Amino acid sequence: MTAVPPMDRAQGTQRVYGATVPLALTMGDAAGIGPECIVKAWQAGALEHVVVIGDVQVMRRAARQVGGAQPIVARIDHPSDLSHAPEGCLCVVEPSGLPMGLAELPMGRVDARCGAAAALCIESAVAWVGQGACAAIVTAPLHKEALSAAGIGYPGHTEMLQALAAGPQGLPPVRMMLANEELRVVLVTIHLALRKAVDAVTFDAVLETLRIAHQSSALWGQPAPRIAVAGLNPHAGEGGLFGDEELQVIGPAIQAARDAGVNATGPYAPDTVFMRARHAPGHPGEFDLVVAMTHDHGLIPVKYLGVEQGVNVTLGLPFVRTSPDHGTAFDIAGTGRADPASLRAALRAAWRLTGSGA
């Protein structure tokens, strides 16, 4: 059995007309740990060919909070200006209309202005990618409550990016994948109350998730992945004893996917399938990825293996988007204690998923 190909190893950089096209890295919530993680990534040399979409003063405040080697935080007008900036600068493009005084707001508190700024940075990053000025998007964490306080009608990055990517055919079908070097999980449902999530596990939703997971896997070098499908109920329903979704919905969707050429099997008991799929030294996994029905079913096992190396990937968008697998960590924001490892992994994964140099 083959090991999971690494997702976080850079494969080179995309070049257009001889100039490097940078990644767009959104600042996230100004009161959270996103700006701090960005500065620490710069200190580690991980921001080469990366332009930050955010607020210059917020980034300067984060540099002071982190301490150590201080970047020159430079404002640029366009991502292409990155190639003309002095070496070692942390270059920031400020979207028009950012709320004033973000760097004066207290750390670790929900504020509508931070939510509005985070949303504006995402909109700007999508525009730059759509114009070909950026190769992919990496998003630092935002705070869902701040987003809501700003009147933004999306519960998180995934739904907002989906709406921004909408075209003449409507919203593109997207799915969330969380991955590290040992386990990859794609979700059928994401940010829904659990009662609603169960109702959202339909034949069409499961089949579409399997199709997206199968097609997207070619980005990381697996055109024919072995997909394990986790059940919804305890013991995958135990033949209908603990629920019939596996018999009535999930099983038929798996069969339809198999008929279409997708190597999907299951449904398997959700309390054991992740152990079977895990790739670890001396333990090659039985599967290349797992499709899980609900948010926590799928994300708990990946995060348990280590938040610091987890990467969130939105599958199905017309561009590459990755992010760390942690949130804004308001409890430590501004203390200089944030770990940038997951952000660095998200940056490396974005380069790989663009196919640059592969």
In the chain, at which residue ranges do the beta strands (DSSP E only) sit? Answer: 15-16, 19-20, 23-26, 50-53, 73-76, 90-93, 137-139, 175-179, 184-187, 227-230, 264-268, 289-292, 311-315, 321-324
Torsion of CA 15, 308, 264, 297, to 10 degrees: -140
Bridge partners of 311?
Answer: 179, 324
> pTM score, two decimals?
0.86
Closest CA to 179 of 292, 24, 33: 292
Other Cβ atoms within 10 Å of 171 Cβ, number: 12
pLDDT of residue 305: 86
Residue 117 has pLDDT above 70, yes or no: yes
pLDDT band (50, 70, 90) for residue 321: very high
Which of 149, 138, 134, 51 minimizes the C-alpha distance to 99? 149
Percent of the chain scoring above 70 in pLDDT: 93
Q: Is residue 174 part of a domain?
A: no
Question: Are residue 216 and residue 347 in the same domain, yes or no?
Answer: no
Q: Which tokens is 42 given?
A: 């710069």
- Bridge partners of 47, per DSSP, are none
Query: Stretch 2-13: mean pLDDT, rounded?
Result: 37
Classify residue 322: in a domain, yes or no.
no
Q: State the sign of the Cα–Cα–Cα–Cα dihedral 166, 55, 78, 20.
A: negative
Distance separating alpha carbons of residues 355 and 316, to the nearest angstrom = 16
* Number of structural domains found in the chain: 2
C-alpha–C-alpha distance, residues 309 and 306, integer Å: 6
Per-residue model confidence (pLDDT) at position 34: 97
Q: What is the DSSP letter of 336?
A: T
- For the segment 23-28, the average pLDDT, to the nearest whole number, is 97
Question: Which pLDDT does position 86 carry in this prediction?
Answer: 87
Print the domain residue range for 154: 1-169+328-358
251 and 121 inside one domain: no
CATH code of the domain covering residue 44: 3.40.718.10
The answer as to whether 176 is a domain residue is no
pLDDT at residue 2 in the model = 34
Residue 20 has pLDDT above 80, yes or no: no
57-95 pLDDT per residue, tens: 999 999 999 999 899 999 999 999 998 888 889 999 999
Mean pLDDT of the chain: 90
Q: Do the domain assignments include residue 321? A: no
From the list 170, 161, 196, the residue with the least C-alpha distance to 317 is 161
Residues 198 and 163 grouped into a single domain? no
**164 and 206 belong to one structural domain:** no
Q: Which secondary structure element, helix H or strand E, spans residue 113, and what is its range?
A: helix 112-130
